């Protein structure tokens, strides 16, 4: 679950919870969490239309980690004790200037840039993304056991456009470190599975766009709308391709 910093609340001691996370917080009267080894206990206030968290510890947490407008706080509630991670928000650059894009999808990325949190992961995700049960822990495991990736991971929840429309775009912030030609062929694989080829081109906004082979990949690997997935890139030495996009679904292991 996440909170995006805005100037709200009495003396900045209360914060509105986004609608995507209200159901989770409405089951609580308080939240006990850790951040960088420090423990905080915040109050949860449930209203008819809004849910707030607040209290002295919330104000202390914001002060300790310099949380303000434009920051995101990610709560990982998959363990016995919840953990909080602080991230910053950066908008896509268009025409040389940074602009805030209101659309939810591939238009804006949120970067977890490790504001002094030793155990925070650096990753890129679309605005509005919320980790559900076990997903953050699964991503943490994937990134721990797999190495040699180029650039930051991209975490995204698959939409109808991506599945039915067979349209997948990789953000500019992830694409830039890859130093790709404006068009060409990449490898595409699910975890440690077989590599298939996918043609791509680069949009005017700097995002990489996969061609219709993405739809074949989706069908072969039974990806579905609302699946959370993480995209990584690494070098590969195979005929006609030297870079592969590794896709992992953040699904708990089957019992």
Each residue's pLDDT tens digit, 216-247 = 999 999 999 999 999 999 998 877 889 999 99
Coil, strand or helix at 77: coil
pLDDT at 107: 42
Query: Residue 254 falls within a domain, yes or no?
Result: no
Residue 158 pairs with which residues in a beta bridge?
Answer: none
Count the alpha carbons within 13 Å of 208 in the hemisphere toward its beta carbon. 24
Contacts of 89 (CB under 8 A, 6+ apart): 4, 70, 71, 72, 108, 110, 111, 127
Under the banding of pLDDT at 50, 70 and 90, the label for residue 13 is low
- Rounded to whole angstroms, the Cα distance separating 119 from 1 reads 17
Query: Residue 214 falls within a domain, yes or no?
Result: yes
Under the banding of pLDDT at 50, 70 and 90, the label for residue 68 is confident
Q: Give the residue from 49, 64, 88 where a domain finishes.
A: 88
- Give the CATH number, domain containing residue 49: 2.40.330.10
Q: Is the pLDDT of residue 123 over 70?
A: yes
Phi, psi of 243 (to 5 degrees): -140, 135
Which residue did the predictor score with more confidence, 216 or 67? 216
Query: Residue 238 falls within a domain, yes or no?
Result: yes
Contacts of 172 (CB under 8 A, 6+ apart): 92, 93, 205, 206, 207
Q: Are 185 and 129 in contact (CB under 8 A)?
A: no
pLDDT at 195: 92
Query: Residue 216 falls within a domain, yes or no?
Result: yes
Which residue did the predictor score with more confidence, 203 or 95? 203
Please state the domain count of the chain: 2
pLDDT at 71: 67
Q: Is the pLDDT of residue 27 over 80?
A: no
Q: Are 112 and 139 in contact (CB under 8 A)?
A: no
Which residue did the predictor score with more confidence, 167 or 54? 167
Query: Residue 196 falls within a domain, yes or no?
Result: yes
- Rounded to whole angstroms, the Cα distance separating 54 from 75 reads 15
Which residue did the predictor score with more confidence, 117 or 41? 41
pTM value is 0.56
Query: Residue 110 falls within a domain, yes or no?
Result: no
Query: Residue 39 falls within a domain, yes or no?
Result: yes
Count the alpha carbons within 13 Å of 72 in the hemisphere toward its beta carbon. 26
Under the banding of pLDDT at 50, 70 and 90, the label for residue 145 is low
Average pLDDT, the chain: 76
Q: Is the pLDDT of residue 255 over 60?
A: no
Rounded to 5°, the CA angle 158-85-75 comes to: 60
Which of 5-14, 62-71, 142-151, 202-211 is modeled with the greatest confidence? 202-211
Q: Is the pLDDT of residue 96 over 60?
A: no
Under the banding of pLDDT at 50, 70 and 90, the label for residue 19 is low
pLDDT at 51: 77
Coil, strand or helix at 14: strand
Query: Residue 132 falls within a domain, yes or no?
Result: no
Contacts of 219 (CB under 8 A, 6+ apart): none
Q: For 141-149, what is the mean pLDDT?
A: 73
Same domain, yes or no, for 82 and 163?
A: no
Write out the residue range of the structural domain in which residue 175 sits: 149-249
């Amino acid at each position: 679950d996440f909170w995006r910093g805005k100037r709200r609340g009495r003396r900045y001691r209360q914060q509105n919870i986004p609608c995507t996370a209200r159901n989770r917080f409405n089951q609580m009267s308080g939240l006990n969490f850790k951040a960088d080894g420090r423990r905080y206990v915040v109050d949860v206030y449930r209203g008819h239309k809004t849910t707030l968290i607040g209290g002295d510890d919330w104000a202390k947490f914001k002060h300790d980690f310099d949380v303000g407008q434009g920051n995101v706080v990610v709560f990982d509630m998959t363990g016995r004790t919840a953990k909080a991670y602080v991230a910053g928000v950066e908008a896509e650059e268009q025409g040389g200037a940074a602009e805030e894009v209101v659309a939810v999808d591939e238009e804006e990325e949120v970067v977890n840039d490790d504001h002094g949190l030793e155990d925070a992961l650096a990753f890129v995700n679309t605005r509005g993304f919320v980790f559900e049960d076990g997903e953050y822990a699964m991503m943490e495991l994937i990134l721990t056991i797999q190495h040699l990736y180029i650039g930051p991971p991209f975490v995204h929840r698959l939409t109808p456009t991506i599945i039915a429309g067979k349209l997948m775009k990789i953000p500019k912030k992830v694409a830039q470190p890859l130093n790709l030609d404006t068009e060409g062929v990449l490898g595409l694989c699910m975890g440690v599975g077989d590599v298939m080829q996918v043609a791509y081109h680069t949009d005017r906004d700097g995002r990489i766009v996969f061609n219709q082979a993405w739809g074949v990949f989706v069908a072969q690997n039974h990806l579905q709308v609302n699946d959370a997935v993480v995209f990584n890139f690494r070098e590969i030495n195979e005929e006609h391709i030297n870079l592969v996009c590794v896709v992992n679904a953040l699904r708990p292991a089957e019992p």
